[in-house]
Structure 1
Amino acid sequence: MTDRVTEAYLADESLHGVMGQLDLPPHFAANYGHRLVGRPFFLEEAVAHEIAADLLDFFQLLFTLPGRFFGGSTARFAEALGLPPAEAALMSAERPPMHGRADIYRVGDRFRLLEVNAGAQLGGPDLGELSRAIHEAPVLAPFVAEHGLAYFNPIGHLLDAVGRDGTIAFVEEGGMLARFAKGFASIREACRREGVDVLLGELHELTERNGHLHLRGTKLDVVVRYFSVTQAVGKSDVLVKGHRTRLYTPFASHLYGNKSTLALLSERRDELEDDEKALVDKLLPWTRYLRDVPRDEVRARREDLIVKAAGEFAGTGIHPGWLVGDREWAELLDAVEKEPYVVQERIRPDPDVVPGDPRPWLTTWGWFLTDAGFAGMSIRSMPFEDGAVVSYAGNPLTKVSGLLVH
């Protein structure tokens, strides 16, 4: 199903050059300017909120899993997901705040869930700057007015959820701040546009004094966590001692962004209430722990399955069966059989049209969410021929765009 505003945009060739006429912030342009899709994307605002509401219900369902199936034990739940005890020890049973992005394919008038991302490693919130630039482009102004178009800014919603008062630091670890320096500069630039000047640092730079965390001598009110649970093991003392500084999000968020959680939910779908089953069926494709599916079945269904590393992110550890041959598929299954992997049913999304490019494009719609609901979108796209992993960290051919709602 093609959105009516999308049809109107594609039909008006005078608008097709808008992506080359944007007034982009300098750090955003340095990070993304070379990888813009040749068109904006459009969606009914009511649909954006409807899917966000479904996703919040879905996340809430995930939050019930420890109590429902593991006697309320976070440790037992983490063990079932294959997480090391040292990591599980950092997690509390308290429900973490909703800070996530759900990656979704559009199939006709349906939206199907690929995976959920919660807590750390949540990239792309600065893509709201691209939506803003599209919305403000002079060439698009009559079109924006005619269709009543608006945009959502994920950075603004993140700052609302974190709290704009006080001193905020975005904290990485393991040299990732330098590795993704352009991305963090763009995020910091977007925060400044919102009137908030955030600090950037790494976990090993944090110290504790009088119950507060300090970054290079500056007392912090909130740490927005980009470092992983694995990176925190062995370095948790300073975080525990600095309990007066809020950690956003807490380590328990990792439980609900792990792909094994989706496998657990899918496998135990028949034990849910009827309305919960309907929600799972609406959003989630068949997903299982790879170790629990007969090898012959996985080999035979190669063209309809994708294998994913349970705890990885940014497109790493993902292996689409339809892009390899039988022998390579069998070798992959042998190589990862004892590793924490899931296998998921292939989703066949509708192709998108990009003006001036005859190739069909594959698009991932990334719904940002807070406990308040829909918080903006990450649009990532590339031609189908360039692969099946749409992630600018995992596939350099991936491009990005902005979303306007109507």
Structure 2
Amino acid sequence: MVTHKYLDACAADPALRDAVASADLPEAYAAAWRKYLLPRPMFCAEDGIRRAADDLRRLFGLLTSLPDRLFGGDVRAFCGALGMDEHRTGIMTRFAGDPVLYGRADMYQDEAGFRLMEFNVGSELGGVDVGDLNGPLLGTDAFGAFAADHGLAHVDTTAAIARQFVRATGKDDPVVATLEGVGGIAPYEALHRSFQESMRRHGIDLVYGDVDQVQTRNGRLHLHGKPIDLVLRYYSPNQLARDDRNVAPAETVQRAHEEGRVVLWTPVSNGMFAYKSSLALLSGADLDPDERALVDRVLPWTRQLTRDLAEFVRAERDTMILKPIAGLGGHGIRTGWDQTDREWAETVAECLREPHIAQRRIVPNREPVMDRDGRVTDWTAVWGVFAFPDGYGGAFCRTVPANGGSVVNIGTTGARVASVFHH
């Protein structure tokens, strides 16, 4: 196993276990990510992760077929079944468009392969440039030699994204505007600067700002004085629902897209398929044998939490996790295995008050990590697997110490990120 060979090599060579810390990182990338980097990258079999990405492509096709399969094409009925309120349903139908496969699946790897927890399908994806560590890492003598000896390779996620933008616009060097909701850029500017740096290396002129900073001149959308070919939407359906200041400028972008004056990547309505309850509908849907085999292979048992299901969820406490249907960053997740029977019964009753899903627990493989002092500890990794219209788009991992709890996010104490190589 490559991981164990890597740890053995690190034990023998301090330069290898220091490779991540000593890699010559691009300036903006270092400012955004250096403090979060795990001491080593993650390794996986190429055929396994490509098979997972292909499964995700097929799963997305099933998800986007649900309005027609289950509701006769009635999108409002589909949104209602997901648990959306009327206001958010109106947002989804008002800012509609053909769904685009531009997603990051959050997956655990266990003995059976990669298993899906959540599927983020929309342009507001995090971690898109974490894998830019791989080039500088290969540039170090110690890791470059190890990678050559063990046949390691990787998929460049930012190059794959740049390719999507070139194809969508028909231009070799499009101007791309990354747009946050009103007041949204400031908290994430370091991340946007890092992504801007990446895109420019791939020939994409990327500018970023808030959606209300967009101006219309001679029929073209402009941001900071530059005419825009493609809008990379980072304002979310929830931001549109919560803050009316976003609605009018978002409508300006939507209108320009519908009139062919700009490419909107991706439509706001993509967000309906990112609701965790869409996975619950798919998990319980009447599918043909091949479709059922795909869903069962990728997705653990997932259902909407209802009063009829509550007794079963209470009884299966050791294997159950409850999640809000549209929660982000792990907020609101409740796990049965770290509660008593009484506490879990109270948790289930509380979660019935708002839309939640119940999902079967996945027990992930442990990932041993050696620090710069030679100490080895076990970590838990969530694999962020990117899937794009032309296939597998690379991956990165969010990690926490194995005793650090069930939520694995950058905001979690001690959390780190890692790039991914395959063999």
Q: Tell me if both proteins adopt one fold, taking TM over 0.5 as the criterion.
A: yes
Does 1:275 pair with 2:286?
A: no
Match of 2:82, as an amino acid?
L
In the other structure, the counterpart of 1:90 is 94
Q: Contact 1:211–1:241 (CA<8 Å) still a contact in 2?
A: no
Q: For residues 217 and 306 of structure 1, do their structure 2 counterparts lie closer, same or farther at Cα, with a shift above 3 Å needed?
A: same
Q: Which residue of 1 aligns with 2:186?
A: 178
Query: How far 1:292 sits from its partner (Å)?
Result: 5.2
Match of 2:120, SS state, is strand
Give the alignment of 1:168-247 within 5 angstroms.
168-233=176-241, 234-235=247-248, 236-243=250-257, 244-247=261-264
Partner residue, 2:420: 403
Instruction: Kindly indicate whether the alpha-carbon contact (under 8 Å) linking 1:208 and 1:241 is maintained by their aligned counterparts in 2.
Output: no
SS in structure 2 at match of 1:113: strand
Q: Matched residues in 2 for 1:264 and 1:199: separation?
A: 38
Deviations 1:177-211 (A, max 9, x none): 11122221211122122232301111122233454
Q: Separation in 1 of the partners of 2:360 and 2:105?
A: 17
Give me the TM-score of the superposition, normalised by structure 2.
0.89
CA displacement at 1:48 relative to structure 2: 2.3
Out of 119, 129, 132, the position equivalent to 1:129 is 132
Q: Matches of 1:118 and 1:192 in 2, distance apart?
A: 24
- Written as runs of structure 1 = structure 2, the 5 A alignment for 1:5-404 is 5-12=2-9, 13=11, 14=13, 15-83=16-84, 84-92=88-96, 95-163=98-166, 164-233=172-241, 234-235=247-248, 236-243=250-257, 244-268=261-285, 271-291=286-306, 293-355=308-370, 356-393=374-411, 395-404=412-421
Unaligned ranges ≥5, structure 1? none
Aligned partners of 2:206, 2:95: CA distance in 1, in Å?
26
Kept in 2: contact 1:121–1:313 (CA 8 A): no
Q: Secondary structure at the match of 1:334?
A: helix
Q: Answer whether contact 1:309 1:318 (CA < 8 A) is retained.
A: yes
1:309 maps to amino acid: P
Equivalent position SS for 2:353: coil
Listed one character per residue, the Cα deviations across residues 293-317 of structure 1 (whole Å, up to 9, x for unaligned) are 5323323322211111111223223
State the Cα RMSD in Å: 2.0
SS of the residue corresponding to residue 392 of structure 2 reads strand
Distance 1:297 1:44 in 2: 37
2:185 aligned counterpart, secondary structure: helix
Instruction: For residue 134 of structure 1, report the CA deviation from its aligned partner.
Output: 1.9
Deviation at 1:326? Answer: 4.0
Aligned residues: 399
Asked if 2 retains the 8 angstrom alpha-carbon contact of 1:304 and 1:321, the reply is yes
- Of 273-282 and 217-226, more deviation after overlay is shown by 217-226
Contact 1:74/1:91 (8 A) holds in 2: no
Residues 307-349 of structure 1: CA distance to partner in whole angstroms, max 9, x if unpaired? 1111122322322222344444344333332322111111111
How far off its partner does 1:231 sit? 2.5
Amino acid at match of 1:89: T
* 2:410 partner amino acid: Y
Question: Matches of 2:330 and 2:145 in 1, distance apart?
Answer: 38
Structure 1 residue matching 2:193: 3-state secondary structure: helix
Separation in structure 2 between the aligned mates of residue 109 and residue 35 of structure 1, nearest angstrom: 29
Is the CA contact 2:95–2:254 (under 8 Å) kept in the aligned structure 1?
no
Q: CA deviation at 1:372?
A: 0.6
Structure 2 SS opposite 1:397: coil
Contact 1:191-1:197 at 8 Å conserved across structures: yes
Q: Report if aligned partners of 2:165, 2:174 keep a CA contact under 8 Å in 1.
A: no
When structure 1 is superposed on structure 2, of 322-331 and 286-295 the one drifting more is 322-331
Q: Deviations over 1:370-389 (max 9, x none)?
A: 11111110211111211111
Seq. identity, %: 36
Instruction: Give the secondary structure class of the aligned counterpart of 2:208.
Output: strand
Q: How far off is 1:109 after superposition?
A: 4.0
Q: Aligned partners of 1:21 and 1:82: how far apart in 2?
A: 48
Please give the alpha-carbon distance, in whole angstroms, between the structure 2 residues aligned to 1:340 and 1:159. Answer: 37
* 2:244 aligned partner: none
1:279 deviates by 0.2
| CA 1:293–1:191: 2 relative to 1, 3 Å | farther
Letter matched to residue 310 of structure 2: R
Contact 1:291–1:338 (Cα < 8 Å) also in 2: no
Structure 2: which 5+ runs fail to align?
Answer: 167-171, 242-246
Distance in 2 of aligned mates of 1:377 and 1:9: 19
CA distance in structure 2 between the partners assigned to 1:280 and 1:182 by the alignment: 37
Structure 2: distance between partners of 1:293 and 1:9: 50
Alpha carbons 1:91, 1:252 under 8 Å: kept: yes
Please state how far the C-alpha of 1:51 moved relative to its aligned partner: 1.4
Distance 1:324 1:400 in 2: 29
